[in-house]
Amino acid sequence: MGDYTIKPVADVADVLGDYPGEMRFLTYEIGAEQAAITWRRMPAETGGKGSYGHRHKTQEEIYLVVSGTLQFKLDDEVIDVPAGTVVRVAPHVARSVWNAGPDDVELVIVGKKIEDPHGDAEHVPDFWPA
């Protein structure tokens, strides 16, 4: 076998549990050494609105909206982002996403792989009031 990995996204565990939609952390499942990648499907009226946001100490994130329209709250600005659009977010920018509907949103999140992704993230409570 060559030095590559092929794996259907559906074969990667969904980490959301009872929360609606799907989130699959692909990075470790494929043995990625440099890049972090997450696939997410968000049903209508799901996401961070009415909840917390987050920012990072060092990790830049890139969001690719594959289908639907996703609302981003970036610091104090709320922006509707349609399918086929990519959004780069610097580490220090507080962010959250919300699918106002009516359709599901599918997105891919990419960043640099870091050793302690949870230690790099900072939760921002009450970031996006409902």
Find the CATH number of the domain harbouring 116.
2.60.120.10
pTM: 0.94
Whether 105 contacts 99, CB under 8 Å: yes
Domain assignment present for residue 1? The answer is no
Q: How many domains does the chain have?
A: 1
Domain assignment present for residue 126? The answer is no
What pLDDT sits at residue 2? 73
What pLDDT sits at residue 1? 54
Q: Profile the chain (130 residues) by mean pLDDT over runs of 10 residues.
A: 89 94 96 96 96 95 98 98 98 98 97 90 94
Task: Determine the structural domain holding residue 88 and report its residue range.
Answer: 9-120
Domain assignment present for residue 15? The answer is yes
Whether 67 contacts 103, CB under 8 Å: yes
Residue 93 phi, psi (nearest 5): -80, 125
The SS3 call for residue 83 is: coil
Nearest Cα to Cα of residue 128 among 86, 100, 104: 100
Domain assignment present for residue 70? The answer is yes
